[in-house]
Structure 1
Amino acid sequence: MLAYRHAFHAGNHADVLKHLVLVQVLRHMALKDKPYRLVDTHAGGGGYALDSAQAQKKGEYLQGIARLWDVDDAPAAVTDYLDLVRAFNARQNTDGGASGGAAGGSLPLRHYPGSPAIAQALLRPMDQLRLFELHPTEFGILSDHLGHARGVQLAQADGFESLKGQLPPPSRRAVVLMDPSYELASDYARVVDSLRDALRRFAEGVYVVWYPQVSRVEAGQLPRRLQALAPKGWLHARISVQQADAQGYGLTGSGMFILNPPYTLHATLAACLPWLVERLAQHHHATYLLDQHVV
């Protein structure tokens, strides 16, 4: 969808969940002394200025990353994620001539890293990062951020179609992150179709899918459809922290569905999600879901 710009939503509660999970998946992949390939099918701009007109329009980051910025009691995995966001801010603030300390309250929150920037920070020299983004403006920003980084290849292309040429990787180890905008109802079916094809090509990959919790039939059906694709096991994590508007619309939460998840991920998220929901809740009935099927 070429109308979608993630800059309007950067750092919101959905980004917090998505990137918390992504960090833990990539940390686990790095435990083995063997390279892996990360494929990001909808990479976006790679990084976002939270003082931009887009981010300020609705200020969604204020109900997301900003609520966690000064905490000192976070679970270890949340602290790991926050340290990466703080490091990104330190680099961007330095490049822009801003001053600030190295942690929490002493460092101004002015920037938010997209999935590519978070992944690139965790990439080892032997690992590969493959980024696909169709929107011309987003791709230009992404190129400025990561176009010359080692181990990174970018393409202005449809990520669903491009995934076919990325699997299986030479190392036989891969993570695929799939997080389209879902502004088109057809995106839900394309996620399922793309993953079905990917699993035929490379059944051993780790497939990480983000989806929005919205009042749309396709969104409610997606987790069940993904379960049917995962005979080797899956993990489903979801947070519901925001109320719908008067018409019943809006992003009330989001979910992460992982096919072939790391065996440590369930315990890690079990320690994080209650704390995260308490911090991000915008109403008294906020909740979370954590479920898995292990083969």
Structure 2
Amino acid sequence: MNYRHAFHAGNHADVLKHVVLLAVCDALTAKPAPLFALDTHAGRGLYALDGNSAQRTGEAEGGIGRLLAEAPKHPAINRYLAAVRACRAEHGHASYPGSPWLLAHALREDDRIAACELLPEEAAQLKANFDRDPRVAIHARDGYAAMKALLPPKFGQVRLNRGLVLIDPPYEAQLEEFDHIIGAVREALTRWPQATYAVWYPIKRRRALQPFLRRAATVPAKSSLLVELMIHPDDSPLRMNGSGMLLFNPPWQLDQSLQSVLPRLQTALGETGASSRLEWLKQAA
């Protein structure tokens, strides 16, 4: 599987990922201390849904397009749609915000963001999109290597103890990618144990994820929370039937704010046989 952001911008997986991402950001910014956010596989950070890549798949119509048309009432969905509308007010009616844009939108003036992208063309566009925001540092490098180099974050003599690492790779080799993720999160937790680590993953057949989730449950985080949305029945290995977010050290009470939004997203975006789940792999004592 090769999940390039530009081809899938605004689809059902982006909706889930970005609803959860904004909920995490809002929970973290509820406390006054400054934050650091690292986006390990940032893409270009901003997309045009009327461009060739997005139009080729048409996936946004069943994601953000459907959600904007139906606008189910829920605070987390309202928050997400408000961010999309803010992006469009600034960049045009067909624009869609990637995760770096949403981080910059949700975080504060004294917070800091690092966005990594390995593909040269994407990295150049990412840099162009954020060249006027002094909070955002762009790194044309491998995101897993950046986790080793940039964590724990320190700016001058100030070390930021709180923050977020978003890991959203293209899954060109899915099983190997899971190995990279588990290893990277394990290692990062030894150096920055207070942070929230958010891992996005695609789902074809859920049962194929079981080895990954068993390993994830052994990662030495204080807690780990699973959030999944399936828009198709879980019976086809030939398409992406859904996606999930695995959150290590999620903010306090995040599960409560997400519990009620998943059925709304399932109803708005799913077909017959759609499902969702929110489950603790490990819960803090």
Q: 1:179 to 1:83 in 2, by over 3 A?
A: same
Query: What's the TM-score once normalised by structure 1's chain length?
Result: 0.89
Q: Tell me the equivalent position of 2:192.
A: 202
Which of 135, 153, 158 does residue 137 from structure 2 map onto?
A: 153
Provide the C-alpha distance between the structure 2 equivalents of 1:281 and 1:198, rounded to a whole number of angstroms: 35
Which whole-Å CA distance do the structure 2 matches of 1:271 and 1:196 have between them? 30
Alignment-derived partner of residue 103 in structure 1: none
Equivalent of 1:166 in 142, 147, 150: 150
In 1, Cα distance between equivalents of 2:71 and 2:137: 37
Name the counterpart of 2:211.
221
Residue 64 of structure 2: aligned partner: 65
Task: Indicate yes or no: 2:174 matched with 1:175.
Answer: no
* Equivalent position SS for 1:140: helix
Taking structure 1 as reference, are residues 132 and 217 closer, same or farther at Cα in structure 2, changes over 3 Å only? farther
Secondary structure, aligned partner of 1:87? helix
**Is 2:250 aligned against 1:250?**
no
Cα deviation, residue 218, structure 1: 6.0
SS of 1:88's equivalent in the other structure is: helix
Equivalent residue number for residue 265 of structure 1: 254
One-letter identity of the residue aligned with 2:275: T
Counterpart contact for 1:244–1:250, Cα < 8 Å = no
In the comparison of the two structures, how many residue pairs are matched?
Answer: 277
The whole-number CA distance in structure 1 between the counterparts of 2:221 and 2:90 is 42
Query: Tell me, which stretches of 5 or more residues in structure 1 are unaligned?
Result: 94-107
Measure the CA separation in 2 of the matches of 1:236 and 1:230.
Answer: 16
Partner residue, 1:279: 268
Task: Extract unaligned runs of 5+ from structure 2.
Answer: 154-158
1:261/1:70 CA distance change after superposition, 3 Å: same
Counterpart residue identity of residue 179, structure 1: D
CA contact (8 A) 2:70 2:268 kept: no
Q: CA deviation at 1:14?
A: 0.5
Give 1:31 deviation, angstroms.
Answer: 1.1
Provide, for residues 184-227 of structure 1, a one-character-per-residue CA deviation record: whole Å limited to 9, x for no partner: 23211100110010011111111001011024976442222211
- Percent identity between matched residues is 38
Q: Distance in 2 between matches of 1:291 and 1:217?
A: 15
The aligned runs of 1:61-140 (5 Å cut-off) are 61-93=60-92, 108=93, 110-140=94-124
* Worse-superposed segment, 34-43 or 147-156: 147-156
Contact 2:227 2:279 in 1 (8 A): yes
Match of 1:188 among 178, 181, 206: 178
Mapped partners of 1:218, 1:141: distance in 2: 35
Q: Secondary structure at the match of 1:288?
A: strand
| Residue in 2 that maps onto 1:238 | 228
Cα displacement (A) at 1:263: 1.5
SS of the residue aligned with 2:68?
Answer: coil
Q: Per-residue CA shift, 1:211-250, capped at 9, x if unaligned?
A: 11024976442222211104411111101112579x7311
Letter aligned with residue 25 of structure 1? V
Counterpart secondary structure, 1:68: helix
Aligned residue in 1 for 2:156:
none
- Relative distance call for 1:238 and 1:4 in structure 2 (3 A) is closer
- The answer for the alignment partner of 1:105 in structure 2 is none
Matched residues in 2 for 1:147 and 1:224: separation? 41
* Cα separation, partners in 2 of 1:13 and 1:229, compared to 1, 3 Å: same
1:62, CA displacement in angstroms?
Answer: 0.9
